[in-house]
Amino acid sequence: MTYQSDSPKADKEYSYGKEKLALIQDYHNNFYDTYKELEKHYDLEMFGESYFKIPKDINNSLWETKQIGRLYLANPFTLYKALKGHTKAIIKDFSQPKSVIAILICRLLGIKYTITLQKMEWFNKRPLLLKLLIKLIIKKDTPIMARISESYYQASLYFDNVTYVPFAVTRKIPNQYTKRDTIRVLCVGKLNDPNKNHVQLIKALDESDQRFELTIVGSMKQKTPYYYKLQKAMLSSMHTMYIQRDLSKGEIALEYMRADLFILPTIREPANYSVLEAMSYGLPVISSSGNGTASYLNQFYVFWANDKKSLKEILKRIVPNLKTAMNENLGLARTNHNQKLIVNKMLKVIQ
């Protein structure tokens, strides 16, 4: 199910005289604070859809996606009509036909567009296709905002105007370190997705000498074979295990606040925001190398994706140093991902 905001198109008193900026991406809860900061400078309108209920103060116009196999498409005429009057746009990615359609429409309407990138893994395997896309559609001098360091270096090989603009996070009340016999581990990710690799995390915890309590927070549209495999692994574990499904933003915040350690065992993911969220609470974080935002962490706490032995080694390394890792992550979140600092970077790119 997707949602559309029922807010008015714009608050005239608030947006009067501001330049119109289109954000062509699906709404996600982690983008709310960045949206509100950008709103101080532009008359904003988002174009996309969302699995989250879109807040009333987010100006969102539904641009529905049609999936055919692995391809995502959308009606170009819907966006063409809606974008009239906009002067600037930020488009997420260019790896799908839907985003390429958005680029073509912006060019047709004379809208200055900027592209945000996460991982470029798909194009790394098809460099000739990427070069062709750049030459015919995207253009080499297009402003690119790379959200992770890996995509910054990769994009710099093909584009002339690339800026590293990581994700932003709001300042949270940090966790207070409390030494306990049982370490509370938090993991956030879809419960029915084998790519999230929760089962391997459970096996790694079971083979550790330390006592753990694991809470897995996530959403799920429908039960899959992987979900039953996850349940079986949890029931057979020697540790206490919980599943918390479809929590509100406030309820998820409470889970971050009660945890001692955050672990993301995902096999492959362009950019997982929950890693940054955990850092903002001052949590020690372990992430797999398959996650793009692992680059935000001290690499001392990043393990090889889908490698249980590597994860166990990092667990041994971090458990005696939880307080040090907490302080380090809190500092990294506040220094490198400050909301105003990141939005100022974005403003310079799109000006």
Per the listing, tokens 């809606």 go with 82
- 22 within a domain of the structure (yes/no): yes
- 212 within a domain of the structure (yes/no): yes
pLDDT for 29 equals 82
- C-alpha torsion 115→153→282→334, nearest 10: -70
Q: What is the mean pLDDT of residues 280-293?
A: 96
pLDDT for 1 equals 46
Q: Are residues 157 and 244 in the same domain?
A: no
pLDDT for 143 equals 98
Cα(253)–Cα(250) distance, integer angstroms = 5
- 28 within a domain of the structure (yes/no): yes
Q: Are residues 19 and 163 in the same domain?
A: yes
Please compute, for residue 65, the number of CA atoms within 13 A of its CA located in the half-sphere on the CB side: 22
Q: Are residues 144 and 102 in the same domain?
A: yes
Q: Are residues 285 and 315 in the same domain?
A: yes
Nearest in space to 105 (alpha carbons), one of 80, 138, 88: 80
- 188 within a domain of the structure (yes/no): yes
Cα(248)–Cα(53) distance, integer angstroms = 11
pLDDT for 16 equals 59
68 Cβ contact partners less than 8 Å away, ≥ 6 residues apart: none
**Residue 312, amino acid:** K
Q: What is the mean pLDDT of residues 17-40?
A: 92
pLDDT for 173 equals 84
Q: Are residues 21 and 158 in the same domain?
A: yes
pLDDT for 80 equals 97
Q: Are residues 268 and 129 in the same domain?
A: no
Domain of residue 36, residue span: 12-168+338-350
pLDDT tens, position by position, 116-163: 999 887 777 788 989 999 999 999 999 999 999 999 999 999 999 999
Q: Are residues 199 and 327 in the same domain?
A: yes
Q: Are residues 144 and 192 in the same domain?
A: no
Q: How many domains does the chain have?
A: 2
Question: 118 with 144: CB under 8 angstroms?
Answer: no
Q: Are residues 84 and 206 in the same domain?
A: no
Comparing 48-57, 137-146, 328-337, the range with the smallest average pLDDT is 48-57
DSSP string, 152-218: HHHHTTT-S-EEE----B---PPPPP---SEEEEEEES-TT-GGG-HHHHHHHHHTSSSEEEEEEEE
Q: Are residues 143 and 195 in the same domain?
A: no
CATH of the domain at 22: 3.40.50.2000
Say whether 3 sits in a helix, a strand or coil.
coil
Question: 305 with 287: CB under 8 angstroms?
Answer: no
- 2 within a domain of the structure (yes/no): no
Q: What is the mean pLDDT of residues 204-212?
A: 95
- 173 within a domain of the structure (yes/no): no
| Structure-model confidence comparison of residues 124 and 31, the more confident one | 31
Q: Are residues 305 and 193 in the same domain?
A: yes
- 55 within a domain of the structure (yes/no): yes
Say whether 271 sits in a helix, a strand or coil.
coil
pLDDT for 15 equals 53
Q: Are residues 123 and 236 in the same domain?
A: no
